[in-house]
Amino acid sequence: MKRSRAVRRTGGLALAACSLAACAPLVRYTNDLVDPDGERTLFTRLPATVGATAGFAVGVPLDIVAIPGAWVVYRSQPRETRDPLSVFLFPSFVLWKVGSLLGAPFDAVEWGAWRWWQAPVPMSDEEREAIERTWDERLYYTEYPVTPIYPLPGTEAGPAGAGPTR
Q: Note the pLDDT of residue 148.
A: 61
Output 144 or 94, whichever has higher pLDDT. 94
Query: What string of DSSP letters covers 56-74?
Result: HHHHHHHHHHTHHHHHHHH
Residue 2 pLDDT grade (very low, low, confident, very high; cuts 50, 70, 90): low
Whats the size of the chain, residue-wise? 166
* Residue 1 is assigned to a structural domain of this protein: no
Closest CA to 55 of 94, 107, 105, 104: 94
Output 144 or 106, whichever has higher pLDDT. 106
Residue 65 pLDDT grade (very low, low, confident, very high; cuts 50, 70, 90): very high
Q: At what angle do helices 42-65 and 24-34 cross, to 10 degrees?
A: 120
Average pLDDT estimate for 8-24: 58
* Residue 42 is assigned to a structural domain of this protein: yes
Amino acid at the residue 124: S
Closest CA to 45 of 53, 56, 33: 33
* Residue 7 is assigned to a structural domain of this protein: no
CA distance 8 to 15: 10
Output 9 or 33, whichever has higher pLDDT. 33
* Residue 51 is assigned to a structural domain of this protein: yes
* Residue 141 is assigned to a structural domain of this protein: no
Q: Note the pLDDT of residue 149.
A: 63
The count of domains in the chain is 1
* Residue 61 is assigned to a structural domain of this protein: yes
* Residue 128 is assigned to a structural domain of this protein: no
Q: Note the pLDDT of residue 142.
A: 58
* Residue 115 is assigned to a structural domain of this protein: yes
Burial class (CB in 10 A: 0-12, 13-18, 19+), 12: exposed
The region of weakest confidence among 65-79, 111-125, 147-161 is 147-161
Q: Note the pLDDT of residue 43.
A: 94
Its domain, for residue 31, covers 22-119
